[in-house]
């Protein structure tokens, strides 16, 4: 098809004329032997792949039945363990007087509440004193900071480069 065009026709004729000069001079005796690889390929060809696929399908289809058979004993064991836990909880609640403990705890809470209510006016009175003490403490801290910054300001304003350490501040 390409050789039918005018430009390619001359090139195609040259190639056709030179085809008779081609000869095969390959020396295949120098190539390594491939008989072990051919034997392995023949072994693979002898394997019945369809039976292997059928075994795979059978194993896949038998999986639900296999799971049921293997988990029958586990389910009964789990039920027995859960029943034992339930009976242990029932026995523990019978030996531990839950109602008495709850009654004692509620009595303790009631007594604590009455104690707090009795001393609440006194706590309110001392709350005012606490507030005054905190205010006084804050004022003292502010006074200390004011004196500190005044000292720094006086030190920098009164600095004289020519004064000796013994004559400074005089």
Per-residue model confidence (pLDDT) at position 110: 94
CB burial of residue 59 (10 Å; 0-12, 13-18, 19+) = exposed
Per-residue model confidence (pLDDT) at position 138: 97
Per-residue model confidence (pLDDT) at position 168: 65
> If the chain, 170 residues long, is cut into consecutive pieces of 10 residues, what is the mean pLDDT of each piece?
79 85 78 88 86 88 84 82 89 79 91 91 88 96 96 78 69
Per-residue model confidence (pLDDT) at position 106: 93
Asked if residue 59 lies in contact with residue 66, where contact means CB atoms within 8 angstroms, the answer is: no
Per-residue model confidence (pLDDT) at position 137: 97
How much is the pTM?
Answer: 0.30
């Amino acid at each position: 098809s390409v050789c039918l065009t005018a430009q390619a026709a001359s090139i195609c004729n040259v190639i056709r004329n030179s085809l008779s000069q081609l000869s095969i001079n390959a020396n295949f005796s120098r190539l390594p032997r491939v008989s072990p690889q051919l034997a392995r390929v023949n072994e693979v060809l002898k394997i019945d792949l369809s039976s292997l696929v059928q075994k795979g399908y059978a194993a896949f289809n038998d999986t639900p039945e296999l799971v049921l058979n293997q988990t029958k004993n586990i389910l009964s064991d789990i039920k027995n363990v859960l029943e034992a836990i339930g009976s242990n909880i029932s026995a523990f609640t019978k030996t531990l007087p839950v109602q008495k403990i709850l009654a004692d705890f509620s009595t303790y809470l009631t007594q604590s509440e009455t104690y707090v209510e009795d001393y609440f006016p006194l706590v309110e009175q001392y709350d005012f004193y606490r507030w005054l003490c905190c205010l006084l403490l804050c004022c003292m801290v502010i006074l200390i900071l004011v004196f500190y910054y005044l000292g720094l300001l006086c030190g920098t304003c009164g600095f004289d480069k020519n004064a000796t350490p013994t004559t400074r501040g005089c």
